[in-house]
A and B are shown apart, each in its own frame.
Chain A
Amino acid sequence: MPEGAAARAGAEEDVRDRLPDVAALAAALDDVDYLAEPGLATALFLGVRLPQPLLLEGEPGVGKTEAAKALARVLDTPLFRLQCYEGIDAAEALYEWNHPRQLLGIRLAEAQGSPLVEEDLFGADYLLRRPLLQAIEHAGPRPAVLLLDEIDRADAEFEAFTFEVLAEAAVTVPELGTVRATHPPVVVLTSNRTRDLHDALTRRCLYHWIDYPQPDRVAEIVRRRVPGSAEPLALDAAGAVTRLRGLDMVKPPGIAEAIDWVAALSLLGVDRLDPASVAATWGAVLKNRDDLELAQARGPGWLVGA
C-alpha cells in the first residue's frame, strides 16, 4: 500500500459504532430511502471503514451521486461536492482570496485612516473556501463526505493535485499556514470514463461498477422517491423503462427518468399505465427525437406490455 497505510488504523470510533458491518450500512441507507445492492453497500462500507477513496462508475442515472449523498445522510455529516469540468483549477477546488473584499478593505482602511497590515488582508475572513478545503477543515464530530463528481472531466494534472491534497489530508495556504484535517473526509469519486483515469488514481481507490437494477427494484426506488405514487403504476413504469432500454437508444432512460415519469403520471392522476397516458407523457421519459421516433414506431401499446 502506498503512503500512510501503516498509520491508518481504520475509521474513527464514532464511525465504527455507527456502521459495525455491511448489513448495518445497508439498513441505514434504506432508512434514508436509498436502496443499495449488496455490492454497492460493501463498497461504501469499505470506503468508510478502511478508509479508502471509492470510485463509482455506471451509466448516467443509476444513482452514483445519490449514493454519496445518502452516505452523508447516514453519517449525519455535511456533503461537499466538487463538480469537475474541463479546465477546473486549484482556485475553484481548494480556496481563493476574496479579492473584491480585499480591495474594499484597503479603501475602507484608507477612508478611516486606520493602519492596515498585510495579515489583515490575508486573514481567514478574506478566504473563500472551496469544497476540498471545506471537507478538510470540517470540525467533526464525524468526517465529512467529499464527492468529486465526474473526475474524468478534469485534466490529469488536476486529478494528481487532488490526490496529493487528500493523501496529505492537509492544505497549506502560504499566508495562513497549514490546515490539517482532524477528521479526514470520506471520499467518493464518480466517473463516466470520457478518458482513461490515471493508474495512480485507480490504484488508490476502491472500485465499484453500479449495474442498472432489476425492474422490481426500480419500482421500489421510484416509490420511495415519489411519495403517494401507486405501486401498480411504479411497477408498470419500471417495466416500460426496462422495455425501452432494450431498444437501441441514443440515451437509454435511467432511474431518474423513471422517477420523473411516475411523478408526472401521478400529477395527472393516472394510477395504471395505459396507452393513452403513455402517449400523453412520452416527453417525461424520452428526451431525444431519434429515441422518441424509435419508441413511437413500436407504439404505446407495446410499451405498456399489452
Chain B
Amino acid sequence: MPDVAPGPLAVGLTTALHRAGLPAPPERSVGLTRALQLVPPTDRAALYWTCRVALVTDRAQLPVFDAVFSAVFDGLLDPSDSRGDPNAPPAIGSEPRVRPVPHEPSLERPPGTGSGEADVSLPGSEGEGEESAREVLLAATSTEERLRHTSFAELTADELLGVRRVVRTLVLATPHRRSRRVRPTRHGGERLDLRRTVRAAQRSGGDPARLVAARRRTAPRRLVLLCDVSGSMEPYTRVYLSLLQGAVAGARAEAFVFSTGLTRLTRQLSVRNPDDALSRAGAASSDWAGGTRLAEAIGRFVADHGRRGLARGAVVVVLSDGWALDDPDDVAAAMARLRRLAHRIVWVNPRKAAPGYAPLVGGMAAALPYVDTFVSGHSLAALEQVVAAVGEN
C-alpha cells in the first residue's frame, strides 16, 4: 500500500464517487478522513471496508461504489486481483439474492408492442369501430363530458395534459385501521388517559374529580401502487404515473413501476415539479417500455418490500393489463403471497373496458382469483371506480 495522506485520498475518492452519480457531499470526505486516521489502510481490504462504511449509505449503491473503488485503487476495472483472498471484499456485482434476469433479446419486447400495434394483437382490443363511435360521442357531448369517458389511449397530446392535471388531484383515501396512539374523548372511551387525568387533578387540588377517557386513534391504511410500464401499457403509462404522483403526495403512498424488473419510485415522484418527477422516474427505471415479467415483479415486491412490512395490512393497487411473459402458475403463486399480506388488492386493467373483454391472457386469468376488486380505470370516469375501490372497507 503506497503511503498516501488520508485527506487527499478521501477527497479524491469522494470526488470520483460524485462523478459516478453517488451522493457524496463534502462532509462525507471529512468523515472518511477521520475514519482513515483511526483505521490505517494497511491493505486493500482494510481500505475498502473503511471507505465503504464511511461513504455508502444504501445497499443499492454498492455496485457503483465497488466499481469506482476498483477504478481508483486498482487502476483498472478488474477485481480479479482480490479473488482467492478469503478476507477480500466481495467482487463487483457479487451481491446475494439479486437474480439476474436472463437476457433474451427476443423476449424483451412482446411481439407487436411497437408503435400502436399493440392493441391489435391483444384480445379485447379496441378495433376500428371505436373510432366512429368516438366521433359520434364528440358531436353529442360537451368536451369535458367527452374527456371524462374517453380512453386515455385515444386522447390527443393537449387533452392528455389536461387529463393528467385532473388525475393528479384525485384523492386516493384508504380505509382506516386502529392505531396504537390514543386521543382524549368526551363520550366514554375504552380506557382512562392517566396522563391527562393527573394533569386535570392538579387543577382541582390533587383530587382526580374529572376522569379523562381515551380512545384509540385511527390511521389510514398504507397504500401501495404497482404500475406496469411495459410496452403494451404505454398508452396509459403517462396518466397512471400522474395518478401515482398524486397518491405519493396526497396519500403518502408507496409507488413502484415494473416491466422486466421492479423499481421503487416513491422518492422520485415526491419531487414537486410533476414533469421533473416523470423524467426522473424515467431515469430510475431502466426497463421503461420493455416486456412484462409479472410474476417476477410481484415476487420481487413481496420478497424485498412487502414481507418486510410495506404490504402488511395495506391496500395494494396493481395497474397492469396482465400481459405477462412468465408462467401463469408463477403469477398465481406470487399473487397468493401478496394476498396473504395485503388488506385488499385492487387490479386496474385498462383493457377491461373494451367490449367483449374476457380476462383470458395467462397472467391476468391467473391473478384474478386473488384480486378483491377488478376495475378498468381507462378513462377519467373509470378512475373514479379506482378511487371507490381503494376507499372500500
A residues touching B (Cβ–Cβ < 8 Å)? 1-2, 5, 10, 21-22, 38-39, 42-43, 45-46, 49-50, 52, 55, 57, 59, 85-89, 91, 96-97, 99-100, 102-103, 106, 109-110, 116, 118, 152-153, 192-196, 202-203, 205-209, 211-212, 248, 250-252, 290
Q: Using Cβ atoms and an 8 Å threshold, which residues of chain A touch B95?
A: 211
Nearest Cβ in chain A — how far from B298, in angstroms? 13
Given A38-B49, A46-B54, A212-B96, answer yes or no on A203-B309 (Cβ-Cβ < 8 Å): no
B45 within 8 A of A: yes
Contact of A207 among B34, B35, B58, B207 (CB under 8 A): B58
Flag if B31 contacts A52 (CB, 8 Å).
yes
Contact of A1 among B31, B58, B87 (CB under 8 A): B31
Flag if B305 contacts A194 (CB, 8 Å).
yes
Interface size band for B: 35 or more
Flag if B337 contacts A118 (CB, 8 Å).
no
B160 within 8 A of A: no
Flag if A59 contacts B97 (CB, 8 Å).
yes
Known: A91-B195, A100-B194, A251-B307. 7 other contacts (CB 8 A): A1-B27, A55-B57, A99-B197, A202-B58, A209-B62, A250-B337, A290-B337
Given A106-B201, A196-B266, A196-B267, answer yes or no on A45-B57 (Cβ-Cβ < 8 Å): no
Nearest residue, chain A, Cβ from B202: A118
Nearest Cβ in chain B — how far from A19, in angstroms? 10
Q: List 11 A-B contacts (CB under 8 A).
A: A22-B39, A50-B34, A59-B97, A86-B179, A103-B194, A110-B206, A116-B206, A192-B308, A203-B25, A209-B56, A209-B62
Nearest residue, chain A, Cβ from B206: A106
Flag if A103 contacts B179 (CB, 8 Å).
no
B177-229 contacts to A (CB < 8 Å): 179-181, 194-195, 197-198, 201-202, 206-208, 219
B7 within 8 A of A: no
Flag if B194 contacts A99 (CB, 8 Å).
yes
Flag if B180 contacts A102 (CB, 8 Å).
no
Flag if A46 contacts B89 (CB, 8 Å).
no
Q: Using Cβ atoms and an 8 Å threshold, which residues of chain B touch A45?
A: 38-39
Flag if A250 contacts B307 (CB, 8 Å).
yes
CA distance A57 to B307 in the complex (A): 16
Flag if B333 contacts A290 (CB, 8 Å).
yes
Given A203-B25, A203-B27, A248-B299, answer yes or no on A46-B195 (Cβ-Cβ < 8 Å): no
Nearest Cβ in chain B — how far from A175, in angstroms? 12
CA distance A103 to B341 in the complex (A): 43
B90 within 8 A of A: yes
Nearest Cβ in chain A — how far from B240, in angstroms? 21
CA distance A116 to B201 in the complex (A): 13
Flag if B39 contacts A42 (CB, 8 Å).
yes
Flag if A38 contacts B308 (CB, 8 Å).
no
Q: Using Cβ atoms and an 8 Å threshold, which residues of chain A touch B30?
A: 1, 5
Q: Using Cβ atoms and an 8 Å threshold, which residues of chain A touch B206?
A: 106, 109-110, 116
Interface string of B43-58 (1 = CB under 8 A from A): 0011001101110111
B353 within 8 A of A: no
Contact of A46 among B45, B53, B58, B208 (CB under 8 A): B53
5 closest Cβ pairs, A-B complex: A99-B194, A194-B309, A42-B49, A202-B57, A87-B180
Nearest Cβ in chain B — how far from A45, in angstroms? 7
CA distance A38 to B47 in the complex (A): 11
B294-345 contacts to A (CB < 8 Å): 299, 302-303, 305, 307-310, 333, 336-337
Given A39-B49, A42-B39, answer yes or no on A97-B195 (Cβ-Cβ < 8 Å): yes
Given A85-B180, A193-B308, A196-B266, answer yes or no on A103-B58 (Cβ-Cβ < 8 Å): no
Flag if A49 contacts B38 (CB, 8 Å).
yes
CA distance A107 to B35 in the complex (A): 57
Q: Using Cβ atoms and an 8 Å threshold, which residues of chain B touch A103?
A: 194, 197-198, 201, 208
Interface string of B232-270 (1 = CB under 8 A from A): 000000000000000000000010000000001011000
Nearest Cβ in chain B — how far from A224, in angstroms? 19
CA distance A290 to B264 in the complex (A): 26
Nearest Cβ in chain A — how far from B53, in angstroms? 4
CA distance A56 to B45 in the complex (A): 19
CA distance A195 to B256 in the complex (A): 12
Q: Using Cβ atoms and an 8 Å threshold, which residues of chain A touch B195?
A: 91, 96-97, 99
Contact of A195 among B38, B45, B202, B310 (CB under 8 A): B310
Q: Using Cβ atoms and an 8 Å threshold, which residues of chain B touch A208?
A: 52-53
B272 within 8 A of A: no
CA distance A248 to B197 in the complex (A): 54
Q: Using Cβ atoms and an 8 Å threshold, which residues of chain B touch A38?
A: 45-46, 49, 87
Q: Using Cβ atoms and an 8 Å threshold, which residues of chain A touch B267?
A: 196
Q: Using Cβ atoms and an 8 Å threshold, which residues of chain B touch A110?
A: 206
Flag if B180 contacts A86 (CB, 8 Å).
yes
Flag if B299 contacts A21 (CB, 8 Å).
no
Nearest Cβ in chain B — how far from A279, in angstroms? 24
Flag if A205 contacts B180 (CB, 8 Å).
no
Nearest residue, chain A, Cβ from B62: A209
Contact of B309 among A21, A192, A250, A290 (CB under 8 A): A192
B59 within 8 A of A: yes
Residue among A85, A211, A290 with most chain B CB within 10 A? A211
Interface string of B79-110 (1 = CB under 8 A from A): 00000000101100001110000000000000
Q: Using Cβ atoms and an 8 Å threshold, which residues of chain B touch A87?
A: 179-181, 219
Flag if B27 contacts A194 (CB, 8 Å).
no
CA distance A1 to B27 in the complex (A): 5
Nearest residue, chain B, Cβ from A60: B308
Q: Using Cβ atoms and an 8 Å threshold, which residues of chain A touch B62?
A: 209
CA distance A85 to B310 in the complex (A): 13
